[in-house]
Amino acid sequence: MAAKLIKGTEIREEILEEIEKEVADIKEKHGVVPGLVTILVGENPASISYVTLKIKTAHRLGFHEIQDTLSEDLSEEALLDLIDKYNNDDSIHGILVQLPLPKQIDEKKILNAIDPDKDVDGFHPVNVGRLMIGGDEVKFPPCTPAGIQEMIIRAGVETKGAEVVVVGRSNIVGKPIANMMLQKGVGANSTVTVVHTGTKDLASHCRRADILIVAAGVPGLVKPEWIKPGACVIDVGVNRIGEKISEKTGKKIAILSGDVDFNAAKEIAGSITPVPGGVGPMTITMLMKNTLKSLKLRLGII
């Protein structure tokens, strides 16, 4: 295998240890810890497992964590009241509403009701605007793109002047990571191209990429011959392509694949993220980092 593996599982551990130390230090000096509330409405199994993992990670880091689990028929008004309560609670620095929400609740209205200074997911229009401006304006970069950038930095990949091609233009991955990579600053300062279903010749753009970030949700979309030899390939895609029986638990589990033909791509790329174990573990990690940052901003220590 030619490419260096960029392992999200290892980078996650490095970052969580850094956060853990900082939390202990702030607790000793200031007598406070980061507070994170996760709000789950209904019983979507995927949402329950995400929220459980978030709470478990927050707990491990010594955060003050609250999990509010509410019934599927909750009214929009009741959810808005709850958000208002946490917006005004000084022990809470991050508010996370797990999506999707039941159909009687307008997601946009809910996300917009979160205090932008507690919006650790970075989805509030104010934080989207701050991200666009860049520099010191940025408070909470959205977690998956922030994780991608952190992986590129920690893998030692040169970004200044690099040709970055982003496949996908979603509001949660493609657009924000493209915006982050073009800003002046560490882990950025790149020349960015964004491609999507309206792009005429996807392959020719991908072939130019020194850093290829793929977030399309199409298994095997990026062919090995589209990869520039030595490029850094970040595969964000998580696609269920089948099921198998877990050797550990004996239970059925999903077989996951990325958007890149990994086995062939790893022989051409300089570095590459696997799926699973690549970008996936970074998202919750960056959520924790944003929550810690929210507390530090409140304390005026950054």
Is 121 annotated in the active site?
A: yes
Per rule CB under 6 A, count of chain residues that contact ligand NAP? 25
Q: Is 280 in the site for ligand NAP (CB under 6 A)?
A: yes
Phi then psi for residue 19, to 5 deg, are -65, -45
Nearest distance from residue 282's CB to ligand NAP, in Å? 7
Listed ranges 13-21, 33-41, 50-58, 191-199: which one lies at the site for ligand NAP (CB under 6 A)? 191-199
Token code pair at residue 139: 């408070």
Q: Is 196 in the site for ligand NAP (CB under 6 A)?
A: yes
Say how many C-beta atoms besides its own lie within 10 A of residue 79's C-beta.
23
Under DSSP, the state recorded for 299 is: H
For tokens 């062919």, the residue is: 223
Interface mask toward ligand NAP for 199-228; x: CB under 6 A: ---x------------xxxx--x-------
Question: Which uninterrupted H or E stretch holds 40?
Answer: strand 35-41
Q: Is 178 in the site for ligand NAP (CB under 6 A)?
A: no
Is 183 annotated in the active site?
A: no
Is 98 annotated in the active site?
A: yes
Listed ranges 171-179, 226-234, 263-271, 285-293: which one lies at the site for ligand NAP (CB under 6 A)? 171-179
The residue from 29, 81, 84, 98 that is catalytic is: 98
Locate all alpha helices (DSSP H) within 88-163, ordered by sequence: 107-113, 125-133, 143-154
Instruction: Specify whether the CB–CB gap between 174 and 168 falls below 8 A.
Output: yes
Identify the bridge partners of residue 253 per DSSP, sorted by sequence position: 244
Is residue 100 reached through a cis peptide bond, with omega within 30 degrees of 0 on the bond before it? yes
Q: Which residue in the set 47, 67, 112, 170 belongs to the binding site for ligand NAP (CB under 6 A)?
A: 170
Q: Is 169 in the site for ligand NAP (CB under 6 A)?
A: yes
User: How far apart, in whole angstroms, are the C-alpha atoms of residue 211 and residue 207?
Assistant: 10
Nearest distance from residue 213's CB to ligand NAP, in Å? 10
Distance of CA 33 to the CA centre of its chain: 22
Q: Which residue in the set 35, 168, 187, 270 belongs to the binding site for ligand NAP (CB under 6 A)?
A: 168
Phi then psi for residue 99, to 5 deg, are -100, 155
What amino acid positions are annotated as catalytic residues? 54, 98, 121
Q: Return residues touching ligand NAP (CB under 6 A).
A: 144, 167-170, 172-174, 195-198, 202, 215-218, 221, 236-239, 279-280, 283
